[in-house]
């Protein structure tokens, strides 16, 4: 029961209603003594500010929507958390929805957020999102929005890792090892992040005479089991590449497991590398070479961009903020030696 209203407070404190309202905003035109009295009344009466009413009136909800595919993956979890941090600092509350990579669900979630009058929206789009349709839905709403970690086309604000660069960094490192063949365990098909990583990597190794054997795709929910399965498929196909590059560190856990199951030592018999640098990766045995993609920096930048859009309105040109990745060279690649001289 948000029973106690500002009216009750103002009567109890013996001030006008507008004064009470100004106290809420800590307006400097009100003397400290009055503020104190009003606040004491609020406390005494157990007053709770009714933001629904304020939103209705002022057309500002002080809420941000976040739609992500899922967050069991630590990388996404970190994104969500840092975004919430940015929102919290600015006084915003985060409305969180998981699309679970389901298009209908994603659409419903976004519509519900619009019903709630979010001041801005962050979308980590589901893998198969149809660009034109989504564009219509988002733009039609007039609500500022930013795409996170995955994009579709270029006509939107976007914040994510520089995945092409990440691929290149890893490609250059792999080339320097003297490897002859690489297999990529590719993560979800049809996400920009996945394609860019593979693009950058492939381009980067193509000059070095390295054979990139056909990729093993992984379904969109990427976890250790998927990595193990993809590795099994690869090896069952009769290929034993010099290097396995996994779409993400989480997948690499499964790669390690499957290699061990077949008597192959990762980092010795076969080099392994991945992307993201989640906290556990340096504690893998052997420590995993990976490309750090700094999800907390991405989430923060995303929050800041969105808040700027909310404050300043729709810009003429959209911003693509790419967070620079960093290669983390560890034993899973450097302790490996080429078999062929």
Query: C-alpha 219: how far from its chain's center?
Result: 18
CA–CA gap between residue 329 and residue 282 (Å, rounded)? 10
Q: Which of 26, 31, 238, 313 binds DNA (CB under 7 A)?
A: 31
For the CB of residue 258, give the shortest distance to a copy of itself in the complex, in Å.
8
CA–CA gap between residue 152 and residue 156 (Å, rounded)? 8
Q: Which of 36, 44, 46, 56 binds DNA (CB under 7 A)?
A: 56
Number of residues written out for the chain: 341
User: If binding is defined by CB under 7 A, does position 21 make contact with DNA?
Assistant: yes
Contact 215, 199 (CB under 8 A): no
For the CB of residue 266, give the shortest distance to DNA in the complex, in Å.
57
Q: Retrieve residue 273's tokens.
A: 């590398």
Could you tell me which of 174, 170, 169 has the C-alpha nearest to residue 270?
174
Q: Which does 85 bind (CB under 5 to 8 A by kind): DNA, a copy of itself, none?
A: a copy of itself
Q: Retrieve residue 88's tokens.
A: 């919290």
Q: Which of 36, 44, 50, 206 binds DNA (CB under 7 A)?
A: 50
Instruction: Please give the C-alpha separations between residue 187 and each of 17, 76, 191, 193, 341, in angstroms, as whole numbers.
Output: 58, 14, 9, 9, 32
For the CB of residue 30, give the shortest distance to DNA in the complex, in Å.
5
SS3 state of residue 289: strand
* Residue number, 62 or 264, with CB nearest to DNA: 62
For the CB of residue 305, give the shortest distance to DNA in the complex, in Å.
24
Instruction: Please give the C-alpha separations between residue 329 and each of 105, 176, 229, 287, 296, in angstroms, as whole numbers.
Output: 40, 12, 26, 9, 21
Q: Retrieve residue 4's tokens.
A: 């106690």
* Residue number, 46 or 315, with CB nearest to DNA: 46
Give the binding-site size for DNA (rule: CB under 7 A): 26
Query: C-alpha 289: how far from its chain's center?
Result: 21
Q: Which does 17 bind (CB under 5 to 8 A by kind): a copy of itself, DNA, none?
A: DNA
User: If binding is defined by CB under 7 A, does position 72 make contact with DNA?
Assistant: no
* Residue number, 2 or 338, with CB nearest to DNA: 2
Q: Which does 335 bind (CB under 5 to 8 A by kind): a copy of itself, DNA, none?
A: none
Residues forming the site for DNA (CB under 7 A): 2-3, 5-7, 10, 15-19, 21-22, 24, 29-31, 34, 47, 49-50, 53-54, 56-58
């Amino acid at each position: 029961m948000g029973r106690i209203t500002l009216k009750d407070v103002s009567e109890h404190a013996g001030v006008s209603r507008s004064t009470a309202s100004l106290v809420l905003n800590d307006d400097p035109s009100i003397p400290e003594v009055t503020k104190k009295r009003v606040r004491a009344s609020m406390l005494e009466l157990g007053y709770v500010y009714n933001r629904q009413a304020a939103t209705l009136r002022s057309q500002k909800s002080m809420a941000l929507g976040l739609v992500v595919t899922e967050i069991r993956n630590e990388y996404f979890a970190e994104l969500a958390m840092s975004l919430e941090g940015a929102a919290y600092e600015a006084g915003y509350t985060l409305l969180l929805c998981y699309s679970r990579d389901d298009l209908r669900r994603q659409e419903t979630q976004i519509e519900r957020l619009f019903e709630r009058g979010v001041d801005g929206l962050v979308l980590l789009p589901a893998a198969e999102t149809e660009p034109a349709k989504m564009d219509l839905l988002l733009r039609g709403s007039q609500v500022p929005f930013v795409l996170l970690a995955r994009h579709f086309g270029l006509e939107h604000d976007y914040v994510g890792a520089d995945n092409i660069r990440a691929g290149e960094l890893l490609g250059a490192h792999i080339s320097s090892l003297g490897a002859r063949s690489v297999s990529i365990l590719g993560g979800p098909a049809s996400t920009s992040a996945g394609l860019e990583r593979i693009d950058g990597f492939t381009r980067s190794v193509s000059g070095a005479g390295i054979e990139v054997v056909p990729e093993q795709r992984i379904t969109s929910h990427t976890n250790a089991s998927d990595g193990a399965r993809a590795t099994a498929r690869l090896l069952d196909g009769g290929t034993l590449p010099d290097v396995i590059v996994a779409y993400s560190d989480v997948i690499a856990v499964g790669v390690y497991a499957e290699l061990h199951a077949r008597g192959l030592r990762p980092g010795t018999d076969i080099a392994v590398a991945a992307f993201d640098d989640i906290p556990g990766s340096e504690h893998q045995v052997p420590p995993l070479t990976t490309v750090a993609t700094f999800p907390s920096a991405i989430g923060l930048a995303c929050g800041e961009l969105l808040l700027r859009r909310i404050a300043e309105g729709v810009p003429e040109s959209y911003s693509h903020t790419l967070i620079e990745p960093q290669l983390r060279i560890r034993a899973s690649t450097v302790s490996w030696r080429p078999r062929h001289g």
